[in-house]
Homo-oligomer: A and B are copies of this chain.
Amino acid sequence: MARAHVEIELRWGDQDAYGHINNVAFARYLEEARVRLFWLGTAREQTGLEGYFRSDDPAGPKMLVAAQHIEFLRVLEYSEHPITIAMWIGKLGGSSIEVHYEVIDGSTTAENGEARVVARAITTVVIVNGETMQPQRLDSEGRKIAKQWSDDPLKLGR
């Protein structure tokens, strides 16, 4: 039971005409967080997940986004303070994974140490064979590592 963390820089251009970080930018942040966790292996923690998912074999496993659900709790303003994204596996299926996230405003953390959650999200990703694009079961080694980075699932509204 553990969560991984990545820090992502905001860009001024992530703002919309209202002068706030736009909801579409959050989808971009979640994508970047997944890439860093599962491919680059540059999360704050050494997870071992990237060893499994990042394959030099072009036919190796790819992740497709099957669904995404985001709840926006507070407005996020552009600043020099990167957001922190806490991520964990909230549900482990046969060939699918639910990645759960909390997005934490870096400026409130910098000001007073408060980990203010501005958004919560769940992405359902399907693991496919990179060549056939057919769903592919996670093998037992992959499941073992994935379980180490599991935690209680979020309950999003509705």
Residues on B with beta carbons closer than 8 Å to the beta carbon of A9: 8-9
Check B80–A42 contact: CB distance below 8 A: yes
Cα–Cα distance between A123 and B143 once the two chains are bound (Å): 33
Question: Per-residue CB proximity of A21-60 to B under 8 Å, as 1/0?
Answer: 0111001100110011000101000000000000000000
Residues on B with beta carbons closer than 8 Å to the beta carbon of A64: 72
Cα–Cα distance between A62 and B20 once the two chains are bound (Å): 14
Provided the pairs A16-B17, A17-B19, A23-B27 are in contact, do residues A71 and B78 lie with their beta carbons within 8 angstroms?
A: no
Copies of this chain: 4
Residues on B with beta carbons closer than 8 Å to the beta carbon of A22: 13, 31
Interface residues on A, range: 35 or more
Residues on B with beta carbons closer than 8 Å to the beta carbon of A80: 36, 40, 42
Residues on B with beta carbons closer than 8 Å to the beta carbon of A18: 62
Cα–Cα distance between A35 and B40 once the two chains are bound (Å): 28
Check A67–B12 contact: CB distance below 8 A: no
Check B68–A70 contact: CB distance below 8 A: yes
Check B17–A24 contact: CB distance below 8 A: no
Cα–Cα distance between A100 and B40 once the two chains are bound (Å): 32
Provided the pairs A65-B72, A69-B69, A72-B65 are in contact, do residues A13 and B31 lie with their beta carbons within 8 angstroms?
A: yes
Residues on B with beta carbons closer than 8 Å to the beta carbon of A40: 79-80
Chain B: minimal CB distance from A35 (Å): 4
